[in-house]
Amino acid sequence: MQFPNFNFLRFLFVFLAAGALLWSGCEKDDDDGPDNEEELITTVRLTFTDGGGNTSTFTFSDVDGIGGNPPVAQDITLSANSTYQMDIEFLDESNSANVKDITEEVREEAEEHLICFAASGVLDIPVTLDTDGNGAPLGLKTELATAQAGIGTLAIVLKHEPEKAAANPCNTGETDVEASFDVIVQ
């Protein structure tokens, strides 16, 4: 069969040139490997200091992160008719060999954070003692007063970018932590 006007060499040239272009000069996967070194808050640690300087700590932790095992909360035991200073710490305990304290970061970005509280039973809501750079409440340091003995719950919610000027700032922003403890006042 005749192939008039068909320059096979020209065809081959274009074929090869285009093929070479195809595999070069393009954006590549930069493949810097998985980067999963991000820190999570896995643990909320509450430290209660009574008037006599005695301290006790209680934790709420979900060491394996979201999914897997559910979080575990220790029961808080307090004395009746006492006033405590409550300090809150946020920790990353996902790697037990390298526990990281994230509290300082929350304090540094105090304007963007707010700790909200909810209480039930015999417990009253703690009174926030610390403020951010604008004088608005932060909540890492609070005062909690107990009255009669009984049981109750205490929930601690760390909000990111709340509208601190809003009527109810705890209904705004993004929840980073929501930890609920059972409390026994005796």
Partner 1 sequence: MSKRLLLLGQWLLLLWFSPSLWAQAPCSFTLKGRVVDAHTREPVPFAIVAVKDQDIGALADEKGNYELENLCAGKYLLICTHVGCHHSEHEVDLKGDMRWDFELEEESIVLQEVVVQGEAPVLESTQSSTTLDAAGLQSQRGLSLGAALSQLPGLSTLNTGATIAKPVIQGLHSNRVLILNNGVRQESQQWGAEHAPEIDPFLADKVTVIKGAGSVRYGSDAIGGVVLVEPRSLRQQPGIGGEANLQGFSNGRTGIASGLLEGRLKGKLPLSGRLQGTLKRGGNLRTPDYYLDNTGVEELNFSWAASLQQKRWSTEAFYSRFYTRLGIFSGSHIGNLTDLRNAIERERPPDDGAFTYELGRPLQRIYHELFKWKASLETGQAGTLQLQLARQFNRRQEFDAHRQYGSLPDALESPQIEFEITTHTAELNWEHRPIRHLWGNFGAHFMRQANTTDRGALIPNYENYTAGAYWIERWKNYPFPLELEGGLRYDYQWMDVGRQGQDSIGRQLEFSNFSGTIGAIYRFPGLLNLRFNTGTAWRAPNVNELFSNGVHHGAASFEEGNPNLSSERAFNTSLTAEVDGQGKLRGSLSLFYNVINDFIFLEPRAEPVLTIRGAFPAFNYAQADARLAGLDWQLAYELMPGLELESKGSLLDARNRERREYLSLMPPFRFEHGLKYTFRKDGSAEPEAPFLRISMANVPEQTRVPANADYAPPPPGYTLFQLEGGAHFRLGRQPLELGFTVFNLFDASYRQYLNRFRYFAHETGRNVSLRLRLPFEVNSGKR
Q: In the complex, which residues of this chain contact partner 1 (CB under 8 A)?
A: 1, 3-7, 10-11, 14-15, 18-19, 21-23, 26-36, 38-44, 60-62, 65-67, 70-71, 90, 92, 100, 102, 105, 112, 157, 159-161, 163, 166, 171-179
**Distances in Å between the alpha carbon of 180 and those of 43, 59, 184?**
12, 10, 13
Taking the complex as a whole, how short is the minimal distance between the CB of residue 132 and partner 1, in angstroms? Answer: 16
CB nearer partner 1, residue 132 or residue 161: 161
Contact 114, 170 (CB under 8 A): yes
- 39 touches 102 (CB < 8 A): yes
Q: Which lies closer to partner 1 via its Cβ, residue 52 or residue 67?
A: 67
User: How would you class 60 by CB atoms within 10 Å of its CB: exposed for 0-12, middle for 13-18, buried for 19 or more?
Assistant: buried
Q: What is the CA radius of gyration of the chain?
A: 29
CB of 51 to partner 1, least distance (A): 31
Q: What minimum distance in Å lies between the beta carbon of 154 and partner 1?
A: 15
CA 107 to chain centre: 13
**Token representation of residue 159:** 């909000």
Smallest distance from partner 1 to CB 133, Å: 18
Minimum CB distance to partner 1 smaller for 34 or for 53: 34
| Residue 89 C-beta: closest distance to partner 1, Å | 13
Phi/psi region, residue 161 (left: phi>0; alpha: psi -120 to 50; beta: rest), is left
**Which residue, 7 or 148, has its beta carbon nearer to partner 1?**
7
Q: With respect to partner 1, which residue has the nearer C-beta, 151 or 155?
A: 155
